[in-house]
Amino acid sequence: MFAFGKYQRRNLRILYDAIGTLADAVGAELNQAKYLAILMPPLIQKWQQLRDSDRDLFPLLECFTSIAQALGPGFAQYAEPVFVRCINLIQTQEMAKADPGRAGVSYDKEFIVCSLDLLSGLAEGLGSSIESLVGRSNLRELLLQCCNDEAPDVRQSALALLGDLAKACVVHLQPRLSDFLTVAVKQLGSDIKDHVSVANNACWAIGEIAVKVGKEISPIIINVITCLVPILSATEGFNKSLLENSAITLGRLAWVSPEQVAPHLEHFMQPWCRALRQIRDDIEKEDAFQGLCAPTGALGSFATMCEAIGSWHEIRSTDLQNEIYQVLHGYKQMLGNSWEAYFQPLDAALQEKLITKYRL
């Protein structure tokens, strides 16, 4: 903080970056009054000094994004002015795109991208506490506009925010939910080859919405499956993150609407299980496996499914553990005398793991 009094414009960028990196590294530990008293006043002073058209805002917006994510609920005391300014920055730039004279600034999409990213940081940090800010703003309409923007990096940040808002306060998206889902499916389908990060965020956002709204997502499920199956089935050409998000989103759709997904299982069960096997243990993987357990009737992929189940180090959800237990014992009962013919070809270590964990 001593450096704030000494550094000039160019070095300030390095300072913002250092503070942001510190926040990323220490996370919630930063949320202590004694640290905030040192850290925040000079940052807020810079925030107030810079005009909305000043490109020096970019590194400061990025710095605030890291701080908001690190502080979590602790950022609430700073949230409203930051939220309002982000909305204003997006509105000003949307106006500048249409009529630079009226806006008084020339269009620069970076202001939109950085503002969307900071709003994502706020949604992630504040969780459901962001609800009142979103409810009093026109963010929903602005976000829909940004999801349809011609610039891929604007769409990428907008779809990330869509997913974060779905997690934090989906109720405020619901009046335009079908529009958001339509645009997300469109981006998933059209951006897979040329703009992977856009497609990846669209895929993740659809999954987050599905978990929150359940059956309301039914009208788009078949379209989403149509987009995801080629990704899972491709032997190369797609990045790891897109493969993982595709597997997770497919699982979430199967969880909320098993009857829609079940008839198509034979087309993707094996590549889906292979992708699930690669995902690290976390809540998203748990959601995906809830979906794997929901529909039935993929006997031809029994071995691949067992390998996916065996990829877990530790399942924290007792509900999911019970679901997997029921599925495996369901297969054992259904196969009867043929059980050994299906179970014995599995790797010996995997057999032992499944016998021990699920009492097969």
**pLDDT tens-digit readout, 66-119:** 999 999 999 999 999 999 999 999 999 999 999 988 888 999 999 999 999 999
Percent of the chain exceeding pLDDT 70 equals: 99
The pLDDT, as a whole number, for residue 115 is 98
143-152 per-position pLDDT tens digit: 999 999 999 9
Residues near 140 by beta carbon (within 8 Å), at least 6 away in sequence: 134, 172, 173, 175, 176
In whole angstroms, give the CA distance from residue 212 to residue 161: 15
Q: What is the pLDDT of residue 25?
A: 98
Q: How confident is the model at residue 140 (pLDDT cuts 50, 70, 90)?
A: very high
**Residue 254 and residue 323 in contact, taking contact as beta carbons nearer than 8 Å:** no
> What is the C-alpha to C-alpha distance for residues 354 and 321, in angstroms, rounded to an integer?
12
What DSSP string runs through 167-222? HHHGGGTGGGHHHHHHHHHHHHHHSTTT-HHHHHHHHHHHHHHHHHHGGGGGGGHH
Whole-number mean pLDDT of the chain?
Answer: 94
Average confidence (pLDDT) over 191-199: 87
Q: Is 336 exposed, middle or buried (0-12, 13-18, 19+ CB in 10 A)?
A: exposed
Tens of pLDDT, residues 273-326: 999 999 999 999 999 999 999 877 678 899 999 999 999 999 999 999 999 999
Contact 168, 123 (CB under 8 A): yes
Distance separating alpha carbons of residues 201 and 120, to the nearest angstrom? 12
pLDDT, average across residues 44-66: 95
Amino acid at 260: Q
Calculate the alpha carbon distances from 192 to 139, 221, 244, 251, 270 in Å: 27, 18, 14, 19, 21
Distance CA 183, CA 125 (A): 26
Rounded CA-CA distance 161/172 in Å is 13
Question: Which residue's structure tokens are 């039914």?
Answer: 218
The whole-number average pLDDT for the span 139-162 is 97
